[in-house]
Amino acid sequence: MYVTFHGNTCIRLQEKTQSRDLTVVVDPYTPKGVTVPGIGAGNVVMATRGDKDLKGVSGEPFEITGPGEYEIKGVMIHGTPLADATVYRFDVGNVRFVHVGLFKGDVPDGLIESFGDVDVLFVPVGGEDTLKPHQAVNLIQAIQPRVVVPVAYKVKGLDDKHGKLDAFLKEIGAQDVKAIDKFKAIRKNLPDDDMAVVVLQPPK
């Protein structure tokens, strides 16, 4: 399962094997009327802020725009309301992902406990209209994922109001982390002890 980041809170997960061809997209969007590069077709689309941003994915994906429990193509998805958004926990194979969307505020302890053991956490870090760096770090410490992927930070060329990624990396002590194009989220790649911060470079 390869993970790529496409700006704002948009994440794409793709797995192509002899037994499965699966693409999951969370929070696609169309800035200035132009489809975000690299998203392409999808089988499953989740939107943390309702159905207003589902035009960035081609094909005929199964669309999830709010709370509930779903099983599509072997992906187990649980959406929970949080303020005016939806937090998604989804399991692909033996890897558990959590995407909290564009959110700011406190996440209830009960919701954090419901996540269970989180392998990969997508967390907004850019302040302004979402979590500030120190708030993001506090949430990460409460959830204790194996891998953290920051989202919702300033990306060159995108018209957004997010702050720079550097502030979050300094807050969490990961200033030396280098951006990569994609991350292979499989069990053997996940750290057993220390948490890893993975910075993904959006495609151009």
Give pLDDT, residue 159. Answer: 63
Q: Which residues pair with 46 in a beta bridge?
A: 26, 64
Q: How many helices (H) and strands (E) does the chain have?
A: 3, 13
Could you tell me the residue range of the domain that residue 120 belongs to? 2-197
Give pLDDT, residue 61. Answer: 87
How many Å apart are CA 189 and CA 53, to the nearest integer?
Answer: 31
Query: What CATH number corresponds to the domain at position 123?
Result: 3.60.15.10
Q: Which two tokens stand for residue 153?
A: 């930070």
How many domains, the chain?
1
In a domain, 69, yes or no: yes
In a domain, 168, yes or no: yes
In a domain, 202, yes or no: no
Tell which phi-psi region holds residue 63, choosing left (phi > 0), alpha (psi between -120 and 50) or beta. beta
How many Å apart are CA 116 and CA 96, to the nearest integer?
Answer: 9
Strands 44-46 and 21-26, bridge-based pairing: parallel
How does pLDDT run along the chain (204 residues), one tens digit per residue?
899 999 889 999 998 877 778 999 999 877 654 556 667 778 899 999 876 667 678 788 899 999 999 999 889 999 999 888 899 999 998 999 999 988 878 888 899 999 999 999 999 998 877 899 999 999 999 999 999 999 999 887 776 778 899 999 999 999 999 999 999 999 888 998 889 999 999 887
The answer to whether the beta carbons of residues 44 and 73 sit under 8 Å apart is yes
In a domain, 204, yes or no: no
Give pLDDT, residue 37. Answer: 61
In a domain, 203, yes or no: no
Per DSSP, which regions of the chain are E strands? 2-5, 11-16, 21-26, 44-46, 62-64, 68-72, 75-82, 85-92, 95-99, 120-124, 147-151, 183-184, 196-197
In a domain, 57, yes or no: yes
The answer to whether the beta carbons of residues 107 and 139 sit under 8 Å apart is yes
In a domain, 149, yes or no: yes
